[in-house]
Structure 1
Amino acid sequence: MQAHAIKGRGVSGNPHNRYHSLHSVGDDGDVGEIKLLSTDIIEQTAKTVIARNQSPDVPHSQSVNPYAGCEHGCVYCYARPTHAYHDLSPGLDFETKIIAKTNVSECFSREISKEAYKAKPILIGANTDPYQPVEQRLELTRQLLEVCLEKSHPVSLITKSALIERDLDLLEQLAQKGLCSVRISVTTLDNQLKRKMEPRTASGQARLAAVSKLAERGIPTGVLVAPIIPSINDSELEAILEAAKHAGAISATYILLRLPLEVKELFSTWLETHYPQRAKHVLSLISQSRGGKLYDSSFGQRMSGEGVFADMISKRFLLACNKLGLKVAHSDKLNCDLFSASKPNQQMSLF
């Protein structure tokens, strides 16, 4: 179904929340027009903030996300379905109703100070971007980095925002102790495509400039080419890797487009809106790479896919990395031996 693009937003509407038994539609059967497109920040107080996973596809076992939802508006974002847990839609709600965990640093500090806690690298930005626009005002990610520096806790970050340059002072101090690494996500170097696909993100050139500034300060920095979308941005793979190496990246990895739950519908509509003549071809290649479906969540397949197209991307990626001298790595080894929890005194006061 073709829809009208909304300037500055990645999607064109709010699909039904899968946890709701009822939903409203207009007389013509379409979801009612979305009139309010300003961004609302919903402040919440969290009880716990460290999320843990045992997925063999994910290089980190624990993460912290200071925000739910993301104003960057990337149409392909695999995190969109999580907004349904907050009684919101994975569509426009995801990019216009941002939940900020205002006590995230206090919670994080408390959780890592527990007696039984063992230090492992924490990933900031596993779900939504920790440097999306609201971070400039709230500084929740910076507060997390301050806790990591205070307690010498290892930390990694993933972002596609140049705002990370604001925190070079903290990141440099962490890096000097072997406590941090950064992945900059670069999807495209084509600004016209970027404006359609991820409207409120930094340009590819700005992200590469951030790579350079991080590398100059001795912060281990890699590039994440993600997502790779058949017949949309896959032709840029080698160019992105070459530009990243030139900027100072030491490692690289990639992820093939993932379309879980509502993202399938949102992405298909986006294709029909912006690339109607090639939409069927793109979806066909995705299906061929996902065992005949638009998404396969199986471990070992969900990040890289399978089949002829997926194998070709894998070979091109490895060949380019070998030629450029880029390490193929999802994460860097960080120092866990310096961690000092400064656990609070459990004994009650006599008076």
Structure 2
Amino acid sequence: MDIAYIPSPSTGVIHLGPIPLRGYAFCIIIGVFVAVWLGNRRWIARGGKPGTVADIAVWAVPFGLVGGRLYHVITDYQLYFGEGRNWVDAFKIWEGGLGIWGAIALGAVGAWIGCRLRGIPLPAWADALAPGIALAQACGRWGNWFNQELYGRATDLPWAVEITAGPNRDAGTYHPTFLYESLWCVGVAFLVIWADRRFKLGHGRAFALYVAAYCVGRGWIEYMRVDEAHHILGVRLNVWTSIGVFVLAVVYFVLSAKLRPGRETVVEPDREGSGGKDGEDAAPADAAPADANADADAEAKPSDADAEAKPKPAKAGAPVLTKDAPAEAEAPEAGKR
């Protein structure tokens, strides 16, 4: 009796004339756009400027792709080096093989460079981008479906994925671990968004929550995979990596909450002010006219000294003194009584 299953694409590439469109690359590109779009909305909501997330992503994405590929090649070097292997295949990123740990690590270096150039704190930018990164991973995992990779043990569940025969794989139906991880990443994204709104996470804690939550899911999903991998004490290398990164993320979350509670009040300083320091506001445009008006009023209004110097009007019947009047008119003669 036939069982239900998720069919795999017969090919992972579609040719438009001489131009190949690869499903793996297409999924990664969609993920990048989703991450930048959501990150931009969250950055603006925190008081940042539109376009800043995309500007920094120009640095973070290339670094992340290189880091992800390096991690994969280093941890699975037997696929590219040794007898019967071609080391040139290590550069064929379109055939699959990106390690999320290397992508996050080296992508953070690129993001740090971009943040330094813009004068903004890296933790605040990472907090804004955290749920978007999780959604980007959810999209990117479907690239593994196109390449028929990252599946688990054989199963006859209705949602099993069909794998066709090929190099290093047998035909059959298997646990779609790529689908499990994709759904888990969507859940992580919503968890971070909810927690950030509920507890006002700041100073990198939203990003730390994303890392910790992802590691929990990656740990149990990794146990289901059957592809070739290095083992330490009988446990897959990526499981150990998940445990280590989870511990680091939790430690950072706790220490950050104690040392720097609350959320940043300013995430992107204003560099357009006329002051000498970032974030100083320029003088109001109407300040100069107001001062000019005040000076004009001061000139028009006589001072107290001028008021005293101005002669008072004479009383009726009193002699009017003029500049040419004789001195006798100013005072009676000494002999007269």
**TM-score normalised by L of structure 2:** 0.27
Q: Which is richer in helix?
A: 2
Larger radius of gyration: 2
**TM-score normalised by L of structure 1:** 0.27
Q: Which is richer in strand?
A: 1
